[in-house]
């Protein structure tokens, strides 16, 4: 069977989980911590933009997907705010690690909820052709956003 939007999203989810774990283990004030944070920020932003365009937006058009899409969008916004808080915090201080933990917890919660609940809801709304087409569009936009954000 061709790749679906869910296969593509799970791949990015695993990258996000891995980056969160590594970020929390990185030593304060090191280039490694800064680099991991930049990677996570880029991954979250590219993933969210493409996901919102090619999964959330189409699902928002259906009554059955309205509440779950709104909730997922709200969680993306919360993660964006935590990323901004990390940009402002001193990367060597304890406050930074506390915010990084909150971000990691939010990311893990969101991904778990999305995979266990949201994918099931949207799976009933989108047909097989839409799921495959969404994967192609997501992949293309995700790659474009990664390149743009890394530049």
Instruction: Give pTM, 2 decimals.
Output: 0.95
Instruction: Report, as an integer, the average pLDDT of 67-78.
Output: 97
The per-residue pLDDT for 22 is: 97
Domains of the chain: 5-150 (1.20.120.520)
Instruction: Report, as an integer, the average pLDDT of 83-97.
Output: 87
pLDDT digits (tens, 9 = 90+) for 2-56: 999 999 999 999 999 999 999 999 998 889 999 999 999 999 999 999 999 999 9
Instruction: Output phi, psi for 117, to 5 deg.
Output: -120, -55
* Per-position DSSP letters for 62-116, written without gaps between them: SHHHHHHHHHHHHHHHHHHHHHHHHHHS-TTSHHHHHHHHHHHHHHHHHHHHIII
The per-residue pLDDT for 12 is: 97
Instruction: Report, as an integer, the average pLDDT of 85-105.
Output: 90
The per-residue pLDDT for 93 is: 74
């Amino acid at each position: 069977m061709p790749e679906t939007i869910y296969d593509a999203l799970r791949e990015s989810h695993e990258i996000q989980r891995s980056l969160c774990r590594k970020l929390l283990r990185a030593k304060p004030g090191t280039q490694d911590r800064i680099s991991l944070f930049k990677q996570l920020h880029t991954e979250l932003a590219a993933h969210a933009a493409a996901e919102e365009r090619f999964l959330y937006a189409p699902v928002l058009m259906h009554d059955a997907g309205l509440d779950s899409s709104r909730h997922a969008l709200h969680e993306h916004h919360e993660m964006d705010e935590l990323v901004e808080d990390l940009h402002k915090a001193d990367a060597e201080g304890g406050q930074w690690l506390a915010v990084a933990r909150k971000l990691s917890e939010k990311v893990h919660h969101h991904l778990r909820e999305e995979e266990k609940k949201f994918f099931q809801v949207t799976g009933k709304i989108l047909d097989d052709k839409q799921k495959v087409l969404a994967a192609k569009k997501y992949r293309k936009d995700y790659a474009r956003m990664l390149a743009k954000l890394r530049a």
